[in-house]
Amino acid sequence: MKAPALFLLPLQLLQARRRLLVGTALAALAGSIAATLAFGTSWLTSLGDLGNRESRYALPVRLEQVGVPDRVAHLLALAALVAGGLWLARESIRGRPRLALGFCLLALTSSWLLPWYASWPVALAAVEEDAAGQALALVLAAYLLPSRIPF
Are 148 and 115 in contact by the 8 Å Cβ rule? The answer is: yes
Are 98 and 130 in contact by the 8 Å Cβ rule? The answer is: yes
Q: What is the pLDDT of residue 16?
A: 74
Please, what are the averages of pLDDT over each run of 10 residues along the chain (151 residues)? 74 79 87 90 72 85 95 95 95 91 93 88 90 95 83 59
Q: What is the pLDDT of residue 86?
A: 95
**Separation of alpha carbons 57 and 50, rounded Å:** 16
Are 111 and 55 in contact by the 8 Å Cβ rule? The answer is: yes
DSSP run (H or E) holding 43: helix 42-50
Model pTM? 0.80
Where exactly are the structural domains of the chain? Answer: 5-147
Q: What is the pLDDT of residue 58?
A: 92
Distances (CA, A) of 105 to 20, 28, 81, 91: 25, 24, 7, 14
Are 105 and 124 in contact by the 8 Å Cβ rule? The answer is: no
Does the CA dihedral 140-59-109-81 come out positive or negative?
negative
